[in-house]
Structure 1
């Protein structure tokens, strides 16, 4: 008698680097120092808070059925049939949509040319394989 646990859906997430979070924390220390001088400078604390919001929200999620581009305000989900390929230029990675999906080029936040091979490997790991043999 063998019991197998059902396979968990694979999700690969790309988020901002730890260096970005560290820079925001250093900015928060500076902003706290400035804001501590007088109550008039309190709005300066909004800068690191907004930056932290941006870091927490932006990224790319790859799942078996879709790729989701998460931005600070909103998200866009693309099915694999809508994606023609990935582009890398000037330190940025984008996704090229098919003509049927509008033919747009959308930037992928938190994905760099150095993480592009991991993204492509995760696409082949999560994307359902066709049964054609």
Structure 2
């Protein structure tokens, strides 16, 4: 008798790199230096706060059923049958939508041409291994 453990759906997340977040923190140090001069410069601190929000929030979540594009204020979830293909140009990756989904092109934040094979492999069905 064998017992089957329930399989958890595999979810792959693509987010901004650590270098982006480090650059935001360096910007915050510079903004703090400027804002510390006088109270009138305090709004300068909003720039690194907004950049940090963008860097932490944007990205792409991929699982077997959906692709979710996350933006700073909202997200869009696409089923795989709404996606016609991927476009890789000038260091950016976009998704081409079918006619039913609006026939547009949506950019995938945090997905690069180098990570596109990982995105595609995460939704490809596992190949069965031969018994022998």
TM-score by length of 2: 0.89
* 1:3 Cα deviation from its structure 2 partner: 5.1
d(CA) in 2 for partners of 1:31, 1:3:
58
Residue 80 (structure 1) aligns with: 80
Spell out, residue by residue over 1:42-82, the C-alpha distance to the aligned partner (whole angstroms, 9 max, x if none). 11110000000001110000012100000111110000110
TM-score by length of 1: 0.89
Residue 13 (structure 2) aligns with: 13
Spell out, residue by residue over 1:107-131, the C-alpha distance to the aligned partner (whole angstroms, 9 max, x if none). 00000111111111112159xxxxx
Residue 130 (structure 1) aligns with: none
User: Which blocks of at least 5 consecutive residues in structure 2 are unaligned?
Assistant: 127-132
d(CA) in 2 for partners of 1:7, 1:74:
29
Q: How many residue pairs align between the two structures?
A: 126
What's the secondary structure of 1:99's corresponding residue? Answer: coil
Task: Give the alignment of 1:1-133 within 5 angstroms.
Answer: 4-124=4-124
